[in-house]
Amino acid sequence: MKDKRIYLDYAASTPVDPAVKKAMDPYFSETFANAGALHWQGQQASAAVFKSRDTIAKAIGAQYNEVIFTGSATEANNLVLRGVLRGFRVQGLGFSEKKQKIPIGYTLHPRIIVSSVEHESVLETCRDLAASLKEASLDPEGREKEGVEVIYIPVNRDGIIDLKKLKAVLNERTILVSIMYVNNEVGTIQPISKITKIISDFRNRKSQITNSKIQIKSNYQLPITNYPLFHTDAVQAIQYLDCNVDELGVDFMTLSAHKIYGPKGIGALYVKNQKFGGDLIAPIITGGGQEYSLRSGTENTPSIVGFAKAVEINEKLKNSEAKRVRTLREYLLKGLKKINPKIMLNGSMKERIPNNLNIYFPGHLAADLLIKLDLAGVAVSPGAACSARAMRSSYVLEAMGLPHQRCVGSLRITLGRQTKKGELERFVRILKQASI
């Protein structure tokens, strides 16, 4: 009998939990109506969406109307980055210079701060926004229509951001700071609460300074001291870590279903609209006004229900599963070191989620290792699945200051609910037989 394949790429995606699939099934063919419809069938679907929204909100300590469903975590990240910039522009905040009342968003290039190891959905969006700064053109009134300055915060060799650098680059033009909770390649946990305090202290100092050049020109009278806002991508965090938004102190948080045994094609963005009234973020997809007018489009009821069920199950299993996979990970690392004492762990072992290993195999290329292991029936990854097909050097490891050979010779190994000790033993034997 042929051995079953070994899946060790749970950071890329997880299988849909049977209970999640069961919860979704009725909404494909029975309660299938549009959740926006006023008839009975539509209201049944709407009730399911409401209940699901409330389930997810309670899991993160939020209000139900602070959870905005999107088509993916990538879309959620785009919504916060582009939406906060648009929201800043439409607020009508004024800048008085040479007796001219010109909107701040147009005369001063807003600043967005991110870490150098963010997910590509954040980094690529920032590059796109920054590119508009170079391409900005002046309208007849002399206002630059586009343009945002992006500052990238460096990380140390463990992948943890430089907090002193963050403090240094915060300024009056900063509208958003986006730092991921857990890195998707090396599993590093960022000090979100410390980052929150830095931002909060900066806001407080700013509110105490009277700047005669900055005037409020807003129907909502939103103080400019609301900025900078703070967003965290918690896609890799929620499975094992506490993601209570009040305790973290974030204004926005991104989540994804398919990383926690839910369906693909559904994500969510927490928006702290109880404090801000939703006025500091504008939609990037307009239409029928669904999702509190922040994300138009017919609600994906089956996936929303599945997302909520996945979150519900995850909350019950979080602590026990974290303990189980941590034990398995330690067992695997010992086995790997036994067959090859020269292997090296990338990133911090202390500040790391329990299912992640990112290992450098000296003398090997990640691309070659991936092929050998795949042919032997093992699924691992050289890094983020979104960029794995390009088979390029890991930008995360590069940002951590690791040598080139480590950046091109490392594999990400991530465990999950289906991972068993016997699979890891077989994985180690395969590596040994392949002289890896």
Residue 386 falls in the annotated catalytic set: yes
Task: Please name the residues in contact with 88: beta carbons below 8 A apart, sequence gap of 6 or more.
Answer: 104, 105, 110, 175, 227, 280
Enumerate the β-bridge partners of residue 7. 379
Asked if residues 236 and 187 have their Cβ atoms less than 8 Å apart, the reply is yes
The Cα–Cα gap between 103 and 293 comes to 24
The Cα–Cα gap between 211 and 90 comes to 21
Q: What average pLDDT does the segment 26-46 reach? A: 96
pLDDT band with cut points at 50, 70 and 90 for residue 434: confident
Which residue matches tokens 């290992």?
359
Task: Please name the residues in contact with 403: beta carbons below 8 A apart, sequence gap of 6 or more.
Answer: none
Residue ranges of the chain that CATH labels 3.40.640.10 = 22-311
Secondary structure (3-state) at 362: coil
Residue ranges of the chain that CATH labels 3.90.1150.10 = 6-16+318-433
| Cα dihedral: 329, 332, 338, 342 (round 10) | -60
Give CA separation, 353 vs 86, 145, 156, in Å.
Answer: 34, 42, 17
Enumerate the β-bridge partners of residue 186. none
pLDDT at 212 over 90: no
Average pLDDT, the chain: 89
Enumerate the β-bridge partners of residue 268. 69, 255
Check residue 365 and give its pLDDT.
Answer: 95
Number of residues assigned to the chain:
436
The Cα–Cα gap between 309 and 435 comes to 43
pLDDT at 197 over 60: yes
Q: Of 411, 385, 418, whose CA–CA distance to 397 is shortest?
A: 411
- Catalytic member of 126, 243, 386, 407: 386
Check residue 90 and give its pLDDT.
Answer: 76
Check residue 146 and give its pLDDT.
Answer: 52
State how beta strands 67-70 and 267-271 pair.
antiparallel
Give CA separation, 28 vs 24, 266, 300, 310, in Å.
Answer: 7, 15, 10, 17
pLDDT band with cut points at 50, 70 and 90 for residue 210: very low
Enumerate the β-bridge partners of residue 367. none
Q: What average pLDDT does the segment 78-91 reach? A: 90
Residue bearing the bigger pLDDT, 158 or 90: 158
CATH number, domain 22-311: 3.40.640.10
pLDDT one-digit tens code per residue, 402-425? 999 999 999 999 999 999 999 999
Secondary structure (3-state) at 179: coil
Q: Considering the domain delimited by 6-16+318-433, tell me its CATH architecture.
A: Alpha-Beta Complex (3.90)
pLDDT one-digit tens code per residue, 50-79? 999 999 999 999 999 999 999 999 999 999
- The single-letter DSSP state of residue 14 is -
